[in-house]
Amino acid sequence: MIKYIFSIVSAVVIIMLITLVFILPTNRDSANADSENQQADNTSALTNTLLFKNIRLFDGTEFIENTNVLVKEGLIADISKSIDIQHLGDIRVIEGQNLTVLPGIIDAHTHSYGNALQDALRFGVTTHLDMFTNEMGLLESVQQRQNLQQTDKTDLFSSGTLATVDGGHGTQYGFAIDTIQNIDGVAAWVTRRKQAGADYIKLVYMPNQQYMPSLDKATALEVIKQGHLQGLKVLAHISSFSAAKDLIEGDIDGLVHIFADQVVTSDLLAMAAEKGVFIIPTLGVIASVNQQNRNSELLADERISGALSAAQKETLQVSFSHAASGFDFAIAKQNVSLFHQAGVTILAGSDAPNPGTAYGVSAYHEIILLTESGLTNAEALAAATGTTATQFSLEDRGVIAVGKRADMVVIEGDPSLDIDTIFNLKHVLKNGYQVQQDLPQSQQGVAIENPMLGDFETQDSLQPNEGFNWTQTHDGYANGNSTATITRVGNIGVDGSAALRVVSTVEAGFPYPWAGAAIGDFSPPISAADIAAYTHITFDVKGSKGNYRVMSFSATSANIPPSQNFDVSSQWQHIRLPLSGFKGLDHTQVSGFAFVAGPTLGEYEFVLDNVSLE
């Protein structure tokens, strides 16, 4: 008997192991489905080999008239006035009397959240130099940008988080960041950035102002020193002349804003030029702070508006709440001009998605602002391509030269004569593959068919529309500590009908804590709903007294959810809120609503019934 146990058990386990390998799900099916879809969409999207014939080239430094560029398997293979087309065989050719080919645009100052990388790539911004983001996905993006595969995302380089102090600039965004406690911790802090996948260091130095604490001078200089010791470039956020002066003296590699509080002195100009500092002025965002942005022009421009996602439109439309002192747009432009004349390198960065800017489009706008600040058209384009690649040691991009990555933008017109032609985007190539410039279908909302979002009479009523479910929601998803439970109960509703009981515990841990019930699609991939046909959201509610709010969620933007408040008492109340009260919500791109208690801490219990759109 014992003899057989050995053979039987061994055989069974080995057979199970082998079977396991064959039955586990592989991703081949989905990969096939994807490529078939794309084939149906656009056959030209499938090739990463093509020829640009008789085009005008801006190679990252200068214009070359009437030449040819051959792209082979995602890399630039040949550039010459005469190319033998015979032996190339059947190859895709882009030929145009008045086409200009540029290197893919590099945006040298972004904060790449949410759909940033997709939104940027549709506009031909093929590289993001991020200056502060969540570090979670960075190591993945390092891998991503090394391959030549087809992608719908811009390549990301990043500083990771930024060097600041508790309560300083960078800490106000609702998630914890690794701050610098004292000067002795700087070296380890820099090492942690390296391990998180940072490509360079960014520090915030805002001394002598009363708004928020900042690194002191000694610590800021230590960050520069330690960054350099560990082989990283160190860049700085400054907003004043004196701060810029301190850091340029301390061997900073670059400034990620121009100061606009006073005109630069000739001493500082000479020192900056001598030390080889570069400046990313971010004129677009300074114009926005100074309430001088030109968003309405950009939004109205038909060459641009069609490709803007809801999130891009939203960030372009938003403005800073008030003009801050020390940000004079005219002085900013004058300083850029003076630094440029003194021989200091100027680079183009948008600071998107700050108010008044948007991923992709603002990088182009910045190029135009640079030409208004004394750079020639070629210099301004180089500031967004070749010069940036040189300053950041990006070996494989930024210029059109043999062996470089085929990240390219094709525009109609001659930007050497008229810089505004850069908005005439004809084609975008990433790794040699054509990029879809139109908004993908999935970002267009599906109309809500059943306006009754929750009568809670049956179990099915918890899923009133395709992909729309009732769930509990709380700030735990944003690292808060609140909790919530929801239960459908038979006879507690209006007139003894069934309703939804929500028990919430709102606890400290997130700046705007919440807990309650939500209706919508919150599990990626999120399908957007279109509620443009409705004007109000109504519901019946009773429960423990306190402050409550309805939060609205966008399928495309990760910004703070627009909310409206309502009050609850122990008596049933019918509440009717206008959908227009959710400021900034795109009604065609909704992912759901939440009915929550908070931000006042405490325990809440409320009953929700007859949630409906009308």
Binding residues (CB under 8 A) for other proteins: these are 1-7, 9-10, 13, 16-17, 20-28, 30, 137, 139-140, 142-143, 188, 191-192, 195-197, 476-477, 523-524
Q: 303: which 2 tokens?
A: 């060459």
Task: Count CB neighbours of 416 within 10 A.
Answer: 17
* CB 279, min distance to other proteins, A: 32
Can you tell me whether residue 34 is helix, strand or coil?
Answer: helix
Distance CA 553, CA 589 (A): 9
Can you tell me whether residue 178 is helix, strand or coil?
Answer: coil
* CB 199, min distance to other proteins, A: 13
Q: Which is nearest to 449 in space by CA: 533, 372, 540?
A: 533
Pick 141 or 421: Cβ nearer other proteins:
141
Q: Using a CB cutoff of 8 Å and minimum separation of 24, what contacts does 332-335 make?
A: 332/258, 332/259, 332/260, 332/281, 332/283, 332/286, 332/287, 332/290, 333/283, 333/369, 333/372, 333/373, 334/263, 334/373, 335/258, 335/259, 335/260, 335/263, 335/264, 335/281
Q: Which is nearest to 500 in space by CA: 571, 579, 595?
A: 595
Pick 138 or 419: Cβ nearer other proteins:
138
* CB 549, min distance to other proteins, A: 21
Q: 382: which 2 tokens?
A: 């180089």
Radius of gyration of the chain (CA): 28
Pick 18 or 218: Cβ nearer other proteins:
18
Pick 6 or 211: Cβ nearer other proteins:
6
Pick 7 or 491: Cβ nearer other proteins:
7
* CB 197, min distance to other proteins, A: 8
* CB 462, min distance to other proteins, A: 18
Distance CA 461, CA 393 (A): 57
Is the peptide bond between 25 and the residue preceding it cis, with omega within 30 degrees of 0?
Answer: no
* CB 596, min distance to other proteins, A: 16
* CB 8, min distance to other proteins, A: 9
Pairing of strands 602-613, 546-554: unpaired
Strands (E), 84-174: 92-95, 99-103, 105-110, 125-130, 155-158
* CB 1, min distance to other proteins, A: 8
Look up tokens 């122990």; give the residue: 570
Pick 415 or 480: Cβ nearer other proteins:
480
Tell me if 412 sits within 8 A of 105, measured CB to CB: no
Pick 179 or 345: Cβ nearer other proteins:
179
Beta-bridge mates of residue 207: none
Cα 430 → chain centroid: 18
Pick 16 or 417: Cβ nearer other proteins:
16
* CB 116, min distance to other proteins, A: 17
Pick 3 or 322: Cβ nearer other proteins:
3
Distance CA 64, CA 354 (A): 36
* CB 9, min distance to other proteins, A: 5
Pick 29 or 302: Cβ nearer other proteins:
29
Can you tell me whether residue 466 is helix, strand or coil?
Answer: coil
